[in-house]
């Protein structure tokens, strides 16, 4: 299944005249066993995403030092500020930042000299029922500038997760996210120290559309691991 997904990613990139290394797969391992994760790791997958803090931390703590050093762990679920210490101590990325307050707590607990990569989660549907920063260039840019002033925090890009739509509507959301990403990147271009290079969007059911729109990172779970064990 991992090989099939990687091949689909390569085909989608080629069809859209993008280089084969322009989109990274994050294997979403929530509710998957450590054995399943290790099996995928030994097949060459090193980047994993977890939705729940405690579950993710427990898995990371069980890894050998060698495997932990070779793997990269992304927090891709909602993050409450009271969980910031655990996340800062164990994860490499946080993709769901929506406020300066939460990032300040992450920075406070992050090991010095080892910056935490973060993405700003945008509310791409502008829905009152969803979390995320307003999908406005000025709002996102101002937050990114504030975040990058924090020690041990590095803003890497944006994360978007559209509601369930028709294929045409989903593609439009992804294209909107890419437009925002490009404009914010230009706005930050004059600032020293910004490495704004990540647009995380697309999951098992819609990642080819995300790649078509310009995603640099896709988050895929069941299509890699199979059904989750709840």
For the chain, 230 residues long, give each residue's pLDDT as a single digit of tens.
999 999 999 999 999 999 999 999 999 999 999 999 999 999 999 999 999 999 999 999 999 999 999 999 999 999 988 999 999 999 999 999 999 999 999 999 998 889 999 999 999 998 887 889 999 999 999 999 999 999 999 999 999 999 877 999 999 999 999 999 999 999 988 555 568 999 999 999 999 999 999 999 999 999 999 887 76
Measured in whole angstroms, the distance separating CA 129 from the mean position of its chain's CA atoms is 21
CA torsion through residues 94, 100, 105, 109, sign: positive
**How far lies 131's CA from each of 8, 49, 125, 170, 192, in Å?**
30, 19, 10, 18, 29
Residue 113 region by backbone torsions, left for phi larger than 0, else alpha for psi between -120 and 50, else beta: left
Give all domains of the chain, ordered by start, each with its CATH number: 2-225 (3.20.20.10)
pLDDT of residue 194: 67
């Amino acid at each position: 299944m991992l090989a099939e997904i990687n091949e689909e990613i390569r085909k989608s990139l080629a069809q859209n005249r993008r280089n084969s290394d322009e989109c990274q797969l994050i294997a979403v391992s929530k509710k998957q066993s450590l054995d399943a994760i290790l099996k995928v790791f030994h097949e060459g997958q090193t980047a994993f995403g977890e939705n729940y803090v405690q579950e993710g931390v427990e898995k990371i703590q069980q890894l050998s030092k060698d495997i932990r050093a070779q793997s990269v762990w992304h927090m891709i679920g909602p993050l409450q500020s009271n969980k910031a210490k655990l996340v800062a101590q164990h994860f490499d990325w946080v993709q769901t930042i929506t406020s300066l307050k939460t990032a300040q707590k992450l920075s406070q607990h992050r090991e010095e000299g080892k910056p935490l990569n973060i993405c700003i989660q945008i509310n791409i549907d502008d829905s009152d029922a969803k979390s995320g920063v307003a999908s406005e260039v000025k709002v996102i840019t101002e937050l990114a500038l504030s975040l990058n002033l924090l020690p041990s925090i590095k803003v890497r890009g944006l994360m978007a997760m559209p509601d369930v739509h028709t294929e045409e509507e989903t593609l439009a959301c992804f294209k909107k996210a890419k437009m925002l990403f490009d404009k914010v990147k230009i706005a930050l271009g004059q600032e020293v120290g910004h490495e704004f290079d990540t647009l995380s969007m697309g999951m098992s059911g819609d990642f080819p559309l995300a790649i078509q729109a310009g995603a640099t990172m896709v988050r895929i779970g069941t299509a890699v691991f199979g059904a989750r064990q709840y």
